[in-house]
Structures are given as structure tokens and as C-alpha cells.
Amino acid sequence: MDFQQIAKRAVAIRNKYSELEKKKYGKEWTREQIMEGFVGDVGDLMKLVMAKSGIRNSKDVDEKLAHELSDCLWCILVLAHKYDIDLEESFTHSMEELEKRIAEDLSA
């Protein structure tokens, strides 16, 4: 699956959640609520990173870590869509800038 296919799948799943939210709660989550969910996912990710480092205890850490990283990616893809950001283009541009900065620092 390429990046655009992944992004489209993330948005399609988010749209299904929106339908479920409307059915259960009468309205779908706002962009801010999606961001709040992402912050919770990042907190869960941090706990798993700590478990992976031996600071916390957790069963099936690798499986849970993979799941949480995927949840975080999903939220980022959804938020990019909600804010009309071409994440693939932005990511490519950011990586080019970082690469250039690193090359300059290494040659200094």
C-alpha cells in the first residue's frame, strides 16, 4: 500500500466512526476532539515506550507498541485531512530541509 492509499483508508475509517458517533451521540467528533484522542494515544504510546525500556510492566509490549504507533499515525493522517494538509508533500519537504541542514552541519 502506498502513502496515498494509507491516507485514504485512514479517512475512510474515520468517516465510518463519524457515522457511528452521529448514531450514538447525535454528532461527530470535532477536529479538536480528534486531537484530544491523539493526545491520549500519545500518552498510551509513552507508557509502552517506558515498558519497552523496562521502566513499566506490560504484557505483549511489542504488539501493543505496534498498535499504538498505528493509532497515532491514523490520527495524524485524519488530522491532516481535516486541516486540508497534503501530508505526503509536507513530509517530503520537511525531510529535504532536515537533510540539507544536517549536510550543512556535517560539512562545517
Domain definitions of the chain by residue range? 3-107
CA 53 to chain centre: 22
100-106 CB contacts, 8 Å cutoff, 24+ apart: none
Q: Which CATH architecture has domain 3-107?
A: Orthogonal Bundle (1.10)
Residues in Cβ contact with 66 at an 8 Å cutoff, skipping those fewer than 6 apart: none
> Are residues 87 and 76 in contact, defined by beta-carbon separation less than 8 angstroms?
yes
Kindly tell me if the per-residue pLDDT of 30 is higher than 90. Answer: yes
Looking at residue 87, its amino acid is L
Query: Which residue's entry shows cell 485524519?
Result: 78
pLDDT of amino acid 92:
96
CA 13 to chain centre: 14
Looking at residue 17, its amino acid is Y
> Are residues 78 and 33 in contact, defined by beta-carbon separation less than 8 angstroms?
no
Kindly tell me if the per-residue pLDDT of 108 is higher than 90. Answer: no
What are the tens digits of pLDDT across the range 12-22?
A: 999 999 999 99
What are the tens digits of pLDDT across the range 56-98?
A: 999 999 999 999 999 999 999 999 999 999 999 999 999 999 9
Report the half-sphere exposure of 107 (CA within 13 A, side-chain side). Answer: 6
